[in-house]
Amino acid sequence: MKRALLSILLLTFAAPLLAAESDCSSLTQLGTLYELRNLAMRHRTSSYDVDSWIDKRIDLLRDPVPGGYRWVRWARPSGNDPVDKHLHKTQAVNGRGSDSFEASGSHAYGVRVVVPEKKSLFSKNNPVYVGTVRILYDADGHRRTKTEKIDQWMNPDTSRTIDLGTIADHVEASLDASTAQKDVNEALVEIHFRQAVAEDDPANPGYRTIK
């Protein structure tokens, strides 16, 4: 069955690719399909071997470079974005001082300050007073800063989002937090980094092969 399916796959793609054989990307795609077929037709080849070969070939086509890939770009997601969450239980008493809560993330386009509804699976959270939010971020080879004064109590199940206006390679965020005397160590505040997602660059000569 495996051999039959691969033969059908190859026949489906081979004709239009051969018609455009002057196209380098088409030749790359055709060559990759033939290599994949030859691998899968081997008697002792498992589905794991095939999957592993595909993963390695895709990795190679994306052109690995230090810190990532030449042909992978970062973009804002069209749907739900991945979030990198950092948690802090507030210890400072409002009016007497504040905690400095710091966190860092990567490939982020926004920083969100969140006071979640619950501090644990079964325990409700308590209000947190959030002062100034300070953000350092690296984008396009430059370091930039952003400061936002919230200076108010944030009740459970509320948030404030700060958009960076770009996709930053690296982000460092800090905020001042305090709570009521009775809620010390019982009031949770979070910093969320709203992250971009990796996409294959259509300009990659191997883009069609990857797809």
Question: 65 vs 21, which has greater pLDDT?
Answer: 65
Q: Does position 22 have pLDDT exceeding 70, yes or no?
A: no
pLDDT tens sequence across 76-94: 988 787 999 999 999 999 9
Q: What is the mean pLDDT of the chain?
A: 85
pLDDT at site 28: 65
Q: What is the 3-state secondary structure (H, E, C) of the chain?
A: CHHHHHHHHHHHHHHHHHHCCCCHHHHHHHHHHHHHHHHHHCCCCCHHHHHHHHHHHHHHHCCEECCEECCEEEECCCCCCCEEEEEEECCCECCCCCEEEEEEEEEEEEEEEEECCECCCCCECCCEEEEEEEEEEEECCEEEEEEEEEEEEECCCEEEEEEEEEEEEEEEEEEEEEECHHHCCCCEEEEEEEECEEEECCCCCCHHHHC
Q: Does position 7 have pLDDT exceeding 60, yes or no?
A: no
Q: What is the pTM of this model?
A: 0.74
What the chain holds in terms of domains, given with CATH numbers, is: 2-74+200-210 (no CATH), 77-195 (2.60.120)
Q: Does position 41 have pLDDT exceeding 50, yes or no?
A: yes
pLDDT at site 39: 60
